[in-house]
Amino acid sequence: MRLVTILPSKGDPTDPVNQKVAVVLPSGRLVTLGMLAEKAPDKLAEEIDGLSLATVVGLDPSLKAVREALEQVGAEKLQQIGLDPAYILLGPPVPRPGKIIGVGYNYMEHLREQGLEKPARPTLFSMFANAVTGDGDPVRKPAGTHALDFEAELAVVVGRRASGVKESNALQHVAGFTVANDITARDWQGQARALGPGEKGDGQWLRAKGSDTFLPLGPGLTPAGELRDGSGLRIRSWLTRAADGAADGADAKPVLMQDSNTSDMIFGVAELIAIISREVTLEPGDIIVTGTPNGVGVFRDPPLFIEPGDVVRVEIDGIGSLTSPIADARGAVPQGSPAAAEIARRRPSATPVASVPH
């Protein structure tokens, strides 16, 4: 099962009151939990329509009530009432996380490509909700960086409050998993391979990783119960470059950049939650971004950085695919570029999201 968060076409999209949680049917159509509660009131309470996605899964990790409601309504009726995703605006599964904790240097092959030793403890850093953006939304390249990079990552959504939890119990606090792209300005980060003559960079990660739109998430959340501890999942990224010279951006070919498995993580999901929650209390809706595998742009020979007009796609088996067109600081993309083609393809059609029932 995959769950998504629908945003309104009008009003504040960050206000949970305006958001709707929906189940993705096998056909791709969407059924909101409010619609399910209306069709199967003995299985789902009407109040579920006002809950966030992380809260829904946190209250019922197995989603037993949702599954029973789906079964009661039946596949044929669900298909009839399901919403066409072409007319729906999806946001990140958690549009405004309370906390976002990133993990650096957490894949062995990523360490090897840098010539680094295995760390004794995870490297943790913070990001804020301003960085979060959704599937298909442009990532804006700030004017001050010349070395923007991509990082395919598994993201963990917290479903239950976690404070001082043991590793053996840590997975009970996970609502589910989603796909992340941890965009990084390598020159700001201070990576030597991204710096020109005389440049030093910030040497700090907050601006390098936490600028506006630097953390695409989504499009959906797969409940934790379906993916156990999040290990054993193939994780990949592709880059479609505007500079490749295709006459039409829609005809440009994506090139595989990263191809790894979450089993290569040094610190697994349960261990990360246990370590973080010793001092930092995790709340429902918080996000842990668990690190990237090898193959990122800065450690290629020669280094490769993303530019306005490019498109990055990240995919994790069992969760889904996250696509990010790259724009300039104003949010504009070059005409005829892969990014322009992607934005045009994904733009919702005529029906406003505000008219979505429940």
Q: For residue 79, what pLDDT is reported? A: 96
> In percent, how much of the chain has pLDDT > 90?
82
pLDDT in tens, 249-305: 678 899 999 999 999 999 999 999 999 999 999 999 999 999 999 999 999 999 999
Q: How many CB atoms sit inside 10 A of residue 13's CB?
A: 18
The answer, yes or no, to whether residue 232 has pLDDT greater than 50, is yes
pLDDT top residue among 52 and 215: 215
pLDDT in tens, 108-149: 999 999 999 999 999 999 999 999 999 999 999 999 999 999
C-alpha angle 131-194-182 in degrees, rounded to nearest 5: 25
Q: How many CB atoms sit inside 10 A of residue 26's CB?
A: 10
Residue 244, token pair as written in the block: 């490749």
Sheet strands (E) in the chain:
2-6, 20-24, 30-32, 90-91, 100-104, 123-127, 132-133, 139-140, 148-149, 152-158, 174-181, 184-185, 215-223, 234-240, 255-261, 287-289, 311-316, 320-327
Residue 87 confidence class, pLDDT cut points 50, 70, 90: confident
Instruction: Give how far the C-alpha of residue 61 lies from the chain's centroid of Cα atoms, to the nearest Å.
Output: 20
The answer, yes or no, to whether residue 342 has pLDDT greater than 50, is yes
pLDDT in tens, 198-209: 888 888 889 999
Q: 107: which DSSP letter?
A: B
The answer, yes or no, to whether residue 50 has pLDDT greater than 60, is yes
pLDDT in tens, 167-216: 999 999 999 999 999 999 999 999 999 999 988 888 888 999 999 999 99
Positive or negative: CA dihedral 223, 227, 231, 233: negative
* Mean pLDDT within 150-179: 97
Q: For residue 172, what pLDDT is reported? A: 95
Q: For residue 352, what pLDDT is reported? A: 38
Q: Residue 311's closest CA among 339, 346, 347?
A: 339
**CB contact at 8 A, 5 and 227:** no
Q: For residue 203, what pLDDT is reported? A: 82
The answer, yes or no, to whether residue 349 has pLDDT greater than 80, is no
Domains and CATH numbers, the chain: 2-90 (no CATH), 94-346 (3.90.850.10)
Q: For residue 245, what pLDDT is reported? A: 61
The answer, yes or no, to whether residue 60 has pLDDT greater than 50, is yes
